[in-house]
Amino acid sequence: MIRKALIALWLFTILGQLPVGAQTLDRIVAIVEDDVILERELNREVAAITAKLQGSNTMMPPEFVLRKQVLERMIVDKLQRQLATRSGIQISDEMLRNSVSDIAARNGLSVEAFKEELVNQGMDYKAFEENLRNEIIINQLRGREIGARVKVTDAEVNHYLETQSK
C-alpha cells in the first residue's frame, strides 16, 4: 500500500515538472442532470435555426434572445430524452426506417431521393435520423405521461354514450 502511494507521488512529481500548455477544447454551457450541452452544440443549433429563419424570410430575434431560447429548448429536450431512457423507451432501427419512408412518401419521394434532397438542402442525413429518433422518443414519452394521467370513469363513458344516442 505504501509502495503504491510512493509510486503515485513520484509520478505526480515527474508529471508536474513537464511543461503543460492549457488548451480550451470546448466550453460547457449547461449541465443537464448527468449530461452536458457544449458550446459547439449550441452554436450548431443556433446556426441551423438562423438558416431556417432566414430561408423563410422570418424576422430574426436578437442574437442573445435566440441563443437563450435555443439553449432552453436543448435543455428540455435532454431532460425529456433522459426521462425516456429511464422509462425504457427505445426506438428500433426498423421503426426509424419506417418513419423515414413515411416522411419521404408524404413528400412524394423515394427514400433515396429524400436523402438526396436533404443533402441538397445542406442537412446531414445522420443528423436528420438522430433528430427524428429523438422526436419519436419524446412523442412516445409525452403519450405515456398523458395517458397515465387521463382517467375516464364508467359514469363518464355512460354519460357520453347517452348524450351521443340522443
DSSP letter for each residue of 79-97? HHHHHHHHHT----HHHHH
Of the pLDDT bands very low, low, confident and very high (cuts 50, 70, 90), residue 57 is: confident
pLDDT of residue 72: 96
- Among all chains, which residue has been given the C-alpha cell 438542402? 121
Distances (CA, A) of 118 to 112, 129, 136: 10, 11, 19
Which amino acid does the sequence have at 163? T
**Which tens digit of pLDDT belongs to each residue from 136-152?**
999 998 888 787 777 77
Helix axes 111-120, 93-106, angle to 10 degrees: 80
Of the pLDDT bands very low, low, confident and very high (cuts 50, 70, 90), residue 154 is: confident
pLDDT of residue 153: 83
Question: What's the CA gap between 22 and 117, in Å, rounded?
Answer: 43
- 16 φ/ψ angles, rounded to the nearest 5 degrees: -65, -20
* Residue of higher predicted confidence among 6 and 35: 35
**Under DSSP, is residue 8 helix (H, G, I), strand (E, B) or coil?**
helix
Cell numbers at residue 73, please?
429548448
Residue 98 pLDDT > 80, yes or no? yes
pLDDT of residue 18: 52
pLDDT of residue 55: 80
Residue 50 pLDDT > 70, yes or no? yes
Average of per-residue pLDDT across 89-109: 93
Average of per-residue pLDDT across 26-43: 92
Residue 15 pLDDT > 60, yes or no? no
Cell numbers at residue 41, please?
452544440
pLDDT of residue 5: 59
